[in-house]
Structure 1
């Protein structure tokens, strides 16, 4: 199939905004973009000038890192912008639908609703071992409801499990020609499951989201990417704001791919996995904890006797965890990000001395 068949008909030939930087590049004296002629005295990065629409050095670096051609990659402000762009480019407001699997990352539904698109749910199934995807149900629902985009988070947020490769291939085969399947791999570096990127050559209706916010420790820089067929990337680019990546963020992100920084990232992942295992075992032994879900991400989903009281008690001690009250299936759960060894030790000390009557 040609992935452009999934794009809104009115945007298939859309050129987008032609910014001054897109129209002309190079030159020594820039008088085309109505910028301030002089930079501020404190400015060391020439921030009086607009940045590159897609910083080429960073785009090439990320493409090399993920093993794709640069034409398959679009930089954006975290994964959130990519989610919004995909819905904007593919879904006709007031008409098209997206498919999610609750409980899942809330921005899929938020972006859809902001674009007046219906959100269809094919919920995760809870088993004794944790949450799993209903692949047959997702395929059937997407077809019946004529969904234009399916968002799938793997490893899943907030439930933590990864989608097996065989299940993803089955899903892609079942929805070929029906909808774009978007795999959000924000937590992929923490999982032993291989990336969905290897499936892109065979499945043009697949898009993969990446971010530097998690394992690369650059949440404040707001750098992400969508990787997909070049034809789709070209359309998304026309729907994007003219200058999405600030110069300081691009420069900082490039530093994350030096050998020294990548070694630190790999070490951080190893430590996180070790701490995740240690925390899971210790939490599982506590009386106020009824279940610790297995996780392939940098967090643990924990079911408690009283999630709200537990979260409030920890907050009173200066430790912030996230109560999952917004998810009907997880009303009795909290999500705990894996901290440093010292932070995790402080958390465990508080929980192991938790008042006995609070979980009676």
Structure 2
């Protein structure tokens, strides 16, 4: 299977640069995974497609304000850090621009010395391992000094940091938002509950691997970056109970989907566990627990378009994406949504 098999032509003007004023008023394409039939709706119409006894699975990770602008301590040269992964309390894997200046032993200052970092090692693919020193609480300093690590295809400044968080975000640790969840409001979630739909929360801290292109010709040679996930027993019990009673398991976003498929056993029972996953889902994959999916529109030739193709078939997805382009749907993080039923 070739990477180019997942290519479609996307005009740049369809890449959404800012969120809509109202979260639940983005467009919603409803795609029947078996027939390929398409309907055009508004996101809040998702209520009409969820049934009593279904279970909606939400990723409650919270995005860190992980982009830091500072300076090299000795030369005062401007530097940009992007926090990728926490290794221990004060040690992080980061991306540094310009990277050539970040040799082992180099120190950097942020916020006029509120935060000092020292490079202690070189990580994978040119990243750096740095140790931070500061007075106070790291998360509070980061909240003050950091900005949202918006994807590279979003060039406009985000006025309200919370618009790159889901309304149910709880556990900080992501370098990117689980963007399918950005469409939900508290009011819409309440209506979904009142309809008899179970809502379960899992956590997967999204890494920047989400934005990394597939650079190999044969997709089987692509290596996924690992991401940390957690599933509490109470939430696993909800999901297993729903499945046993014949309800559909509907993850919101590819992150929730990958988490569920990483933690399910041979018999289709979801385990309460935590760990790291590098699961790569592409056509031919047999889903063990996921029945349907709420997702956004993804990059051509990305692992995310490969995942949705696994659920409904590559031909159905590429046809739906071509329709989305013709109908001028908005793409990527702040774009419109798709429900694969």
- Normalising by structure 2, what TM-score? 0.21
Structure in which a larger fraction of residues adopt strand? 2
Higher helix proportion, which one? 1
Which protein, 1 or 2, shows the higher relative CO under an 8 Å CA cutoff with sep ≥ 6? Answer: 2
Q: Of the two, which has the highest radius of gyration?
A: 1
